Amino acid sequence: MATDLHELLRSLRVWDPEVTSLPSFDPSAAPSTPLELFTAWFAQAVAAGQTEPHTMSLATADAQGRPDVRTVMLHGADTDGWAFASHAHSRKGAHLAGRPYAALGFYWPVLGRQVRVRGPVSAAPSGEAAADLQARSTGALAAALTGRQSEVLGSLDELARASEEAWERAQREPTAPVPSWTLYRLVPEEVEFFQGDERRRHVRLTYRRTDGGWDQELLWP
C-alpha cells in the first residue's frame, strides 16, 4: 500500500510532551555575547541526550545566487568564528570561493531550540586545517583522502575501491597530507536563538554585531 505523505505529516506531533520537556528561556538574563549563550545551549543539548548536537545545516549560494544547503559538522566555535571543514574543490568550497558568506542552522528538538548564524566566511591557514584533520578519526582522514567530493561517481564499486585504498593509507599514515582539505570559519554578524513553546509563544532573541560589540533584540515568533 502506497504511503500517503500528507496523512503521515498530519499525524506527527511537534515537541510531544510525552517525550519532550521544553525549558524556559528568559532573554533578559542572556549573556552579552552570542558565543556564551551558544556554548551554554550546546552543553544543555548534550546533557539532554540530543543526538549529534554538533551537526548543523550549512547554506551557501552559487555564482548565480542560487542557494544550496547540506548538513555538516561543527568543528569548533570561539572568538575566531564558527568552524567547519571541506575540500576546497567541493561544491560548498566553490560556492564559498565565489561568495564567501554563509548561514548555519542548528536544531535541537529534544529542547525545542534552534540557533541560526550568518556572516562572512574565510579559510584558515593550511597548518590549522591539517591539525584539525589529524585530530579527528581514522575514518575522517580516510574520507578526506578519497578526495573527489562532489564529482560525478561512476559506480558504487569505484567508491568502494577508492575508500578501501584511503582507509589503508589513513591507517598507515595518520598524518597523511590532504592539500585540498580546508578549515573554514564563519564570523557571525547575526545570531538568533529560538526557544520553542508548546503554545507557540516562541522566544526569539537576536544578536547583531556592532562596532562596539553586540546589540540584542526580540523578534515576533
Mean pLDDT by 10 residues, the chain (221 residues): 88 83 94 98 97 98 97 96 95 97 97 97 94 88 87 93 92 90 97 94 97 96 95
Q: State residue 1's pLDDT score.
A: 66
What one-character DSSP code corresponds to residue 111? T
What is the maximal distance between C-alpha atoms in the chain?
A: 61
Q: Name which of 124, 102, 107 is nearest 183 in CA terms.
A: 124
Residue with cell string 568543528: 75
Q: State residue 17's pLDDT score.
A: 80
Q: How far is Cα 26 from Cα 198, in angstroms, rounded to an integer?
A: 16
Residue 182 near residue 130, CB atoms below 8 Å: no
Q: State residue 162's pLDDT score.
A: 92
Q: How far is Cα 82 from Cα 74, in angstroms, rounded to an integer?
A: 7
Residue 209 to residues 33, 35, 117, 192, 213, Cα–Cα distance (Å): 9, 12, 12, 12, 6
Q: Which three cell numbers stand for residue 192?
A: 538568533
CA 108 to chain centre: 12
List the beta strands (DSSP E) in 90-146. Answer: 101-108, 113-123
